Chain A
Amino acid sequence: MASKQQQQQQGGQIDLAQLPIPQLRDLKSQLDAELTHLSTSFQSLRTAQSKFRDCITSLTSAFPAPPKSPSPPLLVPLTSSLYVPGKLTDREHVLVDVGTGYFVEKKIDDAKDFYERKVKDLGESLKDLEGVVEGKARNVRMVEEVMRVKVMSAQSAEAQAQGEGKSD
């Protein structure tokens, strides 16, 4: 994997030095767009992960570990400003949203397991995405570097040409 990435980068480097400035600029804006997109995805994955973590905490606080211990007092929201006291009749099952409008009845431990799995999966995706983002950022920096060199050399060439023009 690493060697492949390196190869790609080396290939990119060779190509970059030969590209004219407008194309480099296009490439940079394209890379920038990709980078922003990936960063937003990264952020939303983070949010999703913390939501699943919240679910685990809620499960732990609503259903304390020894199953026979009394249910903690509960207030059920009827509207956002009106609450009524409630009691859990079923202390063993919860309904879990598994996506696309399906809810599955699960035991508390299974539900926790489900959310932990989700958090783990998202963590893996986050790690993968982090690598991709880093690679893209590296590419952007590389393109910027080549662009700077090109622009500078073009400017100095221009200055030289002008200087020669004056001396004539």
Chain B
Amino acid sequence: MGDVQKKLQELSDSYQTFQGELSTAVEARQKLESQQQENSTVKKEFDILEDDANIYKQIGPVLLKQDKTEAVMAVNGRLEFIDKEIKRIEKQITDIQNKAESVKTEIIQIQSSAQQSQQQAVAA
């Protein structure tokens, strides 16, 4: 019985760590999503802008003038990067989910077998 309990404790601990990892990954995913949203609205804004429009980039408290092509390139680069990051995190999330799921089934198995043996003991 002690062995089973110990194993169960270990499994539930690891399940909890997986849950923690999952929520951090999901948080990161959400943050990326909002960044992607913001960058794509900026890109849309640049798209309808005249080519000779004055664009300034904020660096610290200072506004520096920047070429439109340069700004567009920077935003596109960011979008590409965010896209890749989202794919990476997404994979991470599915990995963690799979691991957590397998741990969960193991826990359920152990619990149900323990229950069964208990019932048998009671019946005997």
Collect the chain B residues with CB atoms within 8 Å of residue A99's CB. Answer: 38-39, 41-42, 45
Q: Does B49 contact A (CB under 8 A)?
A: yes
With A95-B63, A99-B38, A100-B38 as contacts: A105 and B45 at CB distance below 8 Å: no
Main secondary structure of the interface of A (DSSP, over half): strand
Q: In whole angstroms, what is the CA distance A104 to B72 when docked?
A: 12
Q: Does A83 contact B (CB under 8 A)?
A: no
A130 to chain B, nearest CB (A): 19
Q: In whole angstroms, what is the CA distance A150 to B54 when docked?
A: 65
Interface size class of A (residues with CB under 8 A): 10 to 19
* Nearest A residue to B75, CB-CB: A100
With A98-B41, A98-B42, A99-B41 as contacts: A104 and B49 at CB distance below 8 Å: yes
Report yes or no: A103 in contact with B38, Cβ–Cβ below 8 A. Answer: no
Collect the chain A residues with CB atoms within 8 Å of residue B75's CB. Answer: 100, 102
Report yes or no: A105 in contact with B53, Cβ–Cβ below 8 A. Answer: yes
Report yes or no: A102 in contact with B58, Cβ–Cβ below 8 A. Answer: yes
Q: In whole angstroms, what is the CA distance A39 to B117 when docked?
A: 47
Report yes or no: B45 in contact with A114, Cβ–Cβ below 8 A. Answer: yes
Report yes or no: A101 in contact with B58, Cβ–Cβ below 8 A. Answer: yes
Q: In whole angstroms, what is the CA distance A157 to B19 when docked?
A: 36
Chain B residues proximal to chain A, CB less than 8 Å? 38-39, 41-42, 45-46, 49, 53-59, 63, 66, 71, 75, 78
A–B Cβ pairs within 8 angstroms, 7 of them: A100-B38, A101-B57, A102-B71, A103-B55, A103-B57, A103-B58, A114-B45
- Sorted from nearest, which 9 A-B pairs have the closest CB atoms? A105-B54, A101-B58, A103-B56, A98-B45, A99-B42, A99-B38, A100-B42, A98-B42, A104-B55
